[in-house]
Amino acid sequence: MSASRSQSSAPAVEAALRTQFDAELLAAGLTISADDRARLFATWADHLPTRDSLRAAAPALEEEPSFVEKPSRLGAGVSASTGSSGGAA
């Protein structure tokens, strides 16, 4: 029974992948021929697991410290002293 379920869900999964692929092409502003589209879709689908693993490994933007939270280093353009820097009079 699970074999028939996986066979019936395969077209739905491929349709969802094609919809995502078409959306990414549209977002990138790419127009390609039908023959190239089939080859590019196959390559794109083969690389989805790699993309997903990289996305999972990369920290989300809210997990990265902002420049305010990072300690400043001496000479990095941020001065920690409050004394006057005037020359000799």
pTM: 0.52
Q: Dig out the tokens for 75 from the structure.
A: 């000479």
How many other CB atoms are found less than 10 A from the CB of residue 62? 6
The residue ranges of every structural domain in the chain are: 2-59
Q: Dig out the tokens for 61 from the structure.
A: 């933007």
Question: What single DSSP character describes residue 77?
Answer: S
Query: pLDDT truncated to tens, each residue of the chain (89 aa)?
Result: 445 555 567 889 899 999 999 999 999 998 899 889 999 999 999 999 998 888 887 776 666 666 665 556 655 555 555 555 555 54
List of residues 6+ apart from 18 with CB closer than 8 A? 41
